[in-house]
Amino acid sequence: MKLYSDPRLLSLGVVHGTTDRALGNMRLSESTRALFERLDICEENILRFKQIHSDVLISVSSKEEMEQIQSSPLAEADGWVLKGSGFGAAILTADCVPLILWDEKAEVLGLSHCGWRGVAAGLPSKTVQKMKEMGAKGKISAWAGPHIQSCCFEVQEDVANQFPESVIHKEGKLFVDLSKAITRQLLAVGLNPKDIQLPHLCTCGDKLKFFSYRRDHTKDALLTFVYRP
């Protein structure tokens, strides 16, 4: 089973990763059920929300809070901040950036669905700030799963204007580098460059490995999750 993950976070005991196309469309319950069964994770302990391309965060600091969220109507948000063990969270992406953040001992985790609207609204930096409010200690590190890269993310001027330092002009067209925009935000809230790893894996450019809404105009999706046993 192929999961894209970060060895630094694996070494801290956090099960996590982004799926690929071979594992199926993660909008389908049978695909997510099969994934978590193979990982020996109880799917009921994985939190979900309705993604709305916002800067809204939900924080969870105990299994009791997790159970309360699970028993409530599905919330609308785009980022999780988790503190505690025995539960985790997941997001869906099909070009947006699945961003995972953690503190020195991975006691506080962040997981954000960073589309261009969320990045423009400051979701990456707000996730770090919320982590600190929840007691994140020491350095904070970042990793991103596969997402659309600047080679494929052509935009119109209204979107480009929101990312003046991350726009690429090529053959009379405008492209945005979301990885660069996210990195700028993370540096601004105190992360060190060496602790930010956003691998160059393009969902839109690699049809064999990834789903892409920009390329295919379908709602098939990858799943990114974090879970601390």
CB 49 within 8 A of CB 58: yes
The answer to whether residue 160 is domain-embedded is no
The tokens of 202 are what?
């393009």
The DSSP H or E segment spanning 209 is none
- Per DSSP, the three-state class of 112 is strand
pLDDT at 148: 98
Q: Answer whether 0.95 is exceeded by the pTM.
A: yes
The answer to whether residue 42 is domain-embedded is yes
The tokens of 76 are what?
């609308």
Name the DSSP letter for residue 73: P
Closest Cα partner for 19 from 145, 199, 113?
145
pLDDT at 2: 82
- Measured CA to CA, the distance from residue 69 to residue 87 in angstroms comes to 12
The tokens of 14 are what?
């956090």
Closest Cα partner for 141 from 175, 171, 105?
105
- Measured CA to CA, the distance from residue 138 to residue 17 in angstroms comes to 23
The answer to whether residue 180 is domain-embedded is no
Q: How many domains does the chain have?
A: 1
The answer to whether residue 183 is domain-embedded is no
Domain that includes residue 29, residue range: 7-148+192-228
The tokens of 113 are what?
């669905």
The answer to whether residue 108 is domain-embedded is yes
Task: Read off the CATH number of the domain in which 49 is found.
Answer: 3.60.140.10
The DSSP H or E segment spanning 160 is helix 157-160
Closest Cα partner for 145 from 16, 8, 1?
16
Q: Along the 229 residues of the chain, how does pLDDT read in single tens digits?
A: 789 999 999 999 999 999 999 999 999 999 999 999 999 999 999 999 999 999 999 999 999 999 999 999 999 999 999 999 999 999 999 999 999 999 999 999 999 999 999 999 999 999 999 999 999 999 999 999 999 999 999 999 999 999 999 999 999 999 999 999 999 999 999 999 999 999 999 999 999 999 999 999 999 999 999 999 9
Closest Cα partner for 178 from 95, 116, 94?
116
Residue type, 207: K
The answer to whether residue 181 is domain-embedded is no
pLDDT at 1: 76
Q: Spell out the residues 6+ positions from residue 34 whose beta carbon is closer than 8 angstroms to its own.
A: 23, 24
Positive or negative torsion for Cα 166, 190, 200, 210: negative
